Amino acid sequence: MSSADHGLPEDADEDQKGTIVSNEEWCEWLRKDLRSSPVYATHSALLDECCDIAARWRARFWERKALWGRIRRGRRLAKELAEVAPVIARTRAAIEALDLPEGSPKVVILDLCSGFGYLGMFLSELLPADKVERIVLVDIMWAPHNVERQEKHLNPEHVLDPNWPIRLTTSRANLKIPSDRRILARAFLAHGAPAMILGVHLCGMLSLRCIDLYNSCPGFFFLALKPCCLPKKLFANRGDVFEGANGHWFAAAAVAVVGKWNQGNWHGASRIELERKYHIWVANLSNFLAGGAPSAQAAAAAEERRAARLAEFKSQRRKEKHERRLANKSVDERAEIERLRPERELRDRRVTLTITPLSFAQLQLRCWLEVHTGTFVELR
């Protein structure tokens, strides 16, 4: 249902005659827009409460037109609110049920892949400040701290507003990089504060990385994950197996799909296939949470198996490339290429040195020789 159906133009701040509407009229428009969403049937009271909060934002930021325009974004605010409502409800219930001992640290909430930060903004208004210390908006598009913001970065003007009931902060991190995940845990959980992870619309492998972060730190007591798109077909083509440190695993081919969005239209797998694989994806993600935190040995073994499968995939790709190169050659040209192949392999091989610490006083030096076939030979 468009805003024009409610008697307002798409921006909803003016009526059809160009007159600025009141906060009450704007709030009613927002409610009508949300009533057309399926989530309103189960979260109507929460959504009505959030509409009142959004109306207060309109009054608070109205004088800063550019900022209010970024918050509202036409119907974007209504869309985002409908999508995060179930996560808001679960998070609110978990905080209300939490009994913090007197003098203990308050809860820290990490909103992964936060984007603009709508989820954290609503939670700041809804959660009790005596239980929550701050909400951290984690996204790769925030500018690093102490670095001047560029055009490509998200504008944090709304986050820096001092009137949020619960403090909002930003943190730039790439969840696909293990060191960034470790830095997140050290930065916000080092003082023993209990923590929650929220992940809405985590695309593909980011859902797995979110679970890795949750499993790696016992300080996290709550996880709300709403996966988005499925893993790409690349993972199935190279025979990947997604494996958790708790021993659960499944083949990438069970969930990987081919397709992409183009100008709002989906080109790829059918809706029936997408729904079937999405249910498989969600079920397996849940299984990765079973069994508690993984041991370091189990995590290292899983990583070694993943690296071995990747090396095998690269070796097979090189062989296929060599066969395609020979396909259009004559018999004599093939014989010449095969005759020169040992020399090419000798020229192309590469030596990689890896130093692995064994103890405080000792180091073991391992030398690996990568030959053209992609196999690794340990030199002793």
Lowest average pLDDT, out of 14-23, 131-140, 275-284, 320-329, goes to 14-23
164 φ, ψ (degrees, to nearest 5): -70, 130
**What is the model's pLDDT at position 374?**
42
Q: Which amino acid is at 219?
A: G
Band of residue 4 on the pLDDT scale cut at 50, 70, 90? very low
Question: CB 330: neighbour CB atoms within 10 A?
Answer: 8
Tell whether the model's pLDDT for residue 371 goes beyond 50.
no
Question: CB 355: neighbour CB atoms within 10 A?
Answer: 8
237 burial (CB, 10 Å; 0-12 / 13-18 / 19+) is middle
- What is the full DSSP assignment across 9-29? -TTSSB-TTSPBPPHHHHHHH
Domain boundaries defined on the chain:
82-228, 340-380
Long-range contact set of residues 256-265: C-beta below 8 Å, sequence gap at least 24: 256/230, 256/231, 256/232, 257/230, 257/231, 257/232, 257/233, 258/233
H or E segment to which residue 259 belongs: strand 259-262
Please check whether residue 83 is in contact with residue 113, taking contact to mean a CB–CB distance below 8 angstroms.
no
The model's pTM is 0.74
Band of residue 298 on the pLDDT scale cut at 50, 70, 90? low
Tell whether the model's pLDDT for residue 290 goes beyond 90.
no
Half-sphere exposure of 317 (CA within 13 A, CB side): 10
Average pLDDT for the chain: 80
* Domain 82-228 in this protein, CATH class: alpha beta
Lowest average pLDDT, out of 33-37, 128-132, 343-347, goes to 343-347
